[in-house]
């Protein structure tokens, strides 16, 4: 035998309001449990750097130029896998080393050089252009990779 259940309109409205309230509270609770963006797992962190050049002419008519990495300092977290993308914008060729990471390479104007490494130890690692290591060679063209 079947039983017939009668639901009044008021009861249906209360039931719908209850379901909406539960759904709303669930959304609010989930938002309060959000994970900060820097805590999200990342399989590979991509960092872009470019070669830059500054030029000027002194009052005596002497041309001065200096090369640099831009940005000059990048920060990564210990344990991250890093993909460093170096784009040659100014200067024909920039052979470089990254001290302490046993990495060397070269950046050519108009091309990207990609360097992959695992930031396994904390420290400050210098990326040094061997063509522009000091002021007598239009430098120093030195950037910093800070691993925290």
Write the pLDDT tens digit of every residue in 3-55. 777 768 877 787 778 887 887 787 776 766 555 555 555 589 999 999 998 89
26 to 14, 36, 135: CA distances (angstroms): 18, 19, 62
pLDDT computed for residue 80 by the predictor: 95
Is the preceding omega at residue 72 within 30 degrees of 0, hence cis?
no
> 91-132 pLDDT, tens per residue?
899 999 999 999 999 999 999 999 999 999 999 999 999 999
Residue-wise pLDDT for 45-97, tens only, equals 999 999 998 899 999 999 988 899 999 999 999 999 999 999 999 889 999 99
CATH of residue 102's domain is 2.60.40.420
Residue 30 included in any domain: no
Higher pLDDT: 143 or 8? It is 143
Structural domain containing residue 70? 39-147
Q: How confident is the model at residue 61, as a pLDDT? A: 94
Query: Is residue 140 classed exposed, middle or buried when 0-12, 13-18 and 19+ CB atoms within 10 A define those classes?
Result: middle
Residue 20 domain-assigned (yes or no): no
Domain count, the chain: 1
Res 38: pLDDT: 52
**Closest alpha carbon to 142 in 56, 131, 119:** 131
Asked whether residue 131 is domain-assigned, the answer is yes
Residue 107 to residue 110: CA distance in whole angstroms? 9
Q: Has residue 135 got a pLDDT over 90?
A: no
Strands 103-108 and 93-98: antiparallel
């Amino acid at each position: 035998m079947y039983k017939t259940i009668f639901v009044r309109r008021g009861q249906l409205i209360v039931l719908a309001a209850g379901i909406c309230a539960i759904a709303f509270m669930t959304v609010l609770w989930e938002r309060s449990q959000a994970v900060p963006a820097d805590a999200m797992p990342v399989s590979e962190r991509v960092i872009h750097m470019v070669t830059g050049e500054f030029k000027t002419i002194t009052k005596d008519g002497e041309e001065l130029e200096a090369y640099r990495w831009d940005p000059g300092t990048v920060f990564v977290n210990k344990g991250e896998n890093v993909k460093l993308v170096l784009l040659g914008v100014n200067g024909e060729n920039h052979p470089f080393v990254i001290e302490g990471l046993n990495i060397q390479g070269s950046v050519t104007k108009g091309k990207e050089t990609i360097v992959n490494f695992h930031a396994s130890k904390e420290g400050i690692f210098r990326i040094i252009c061997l063509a522009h290591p000091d002021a007598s060679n239009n430098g120093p063209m030195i950037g910093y990779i800070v691993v925290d």
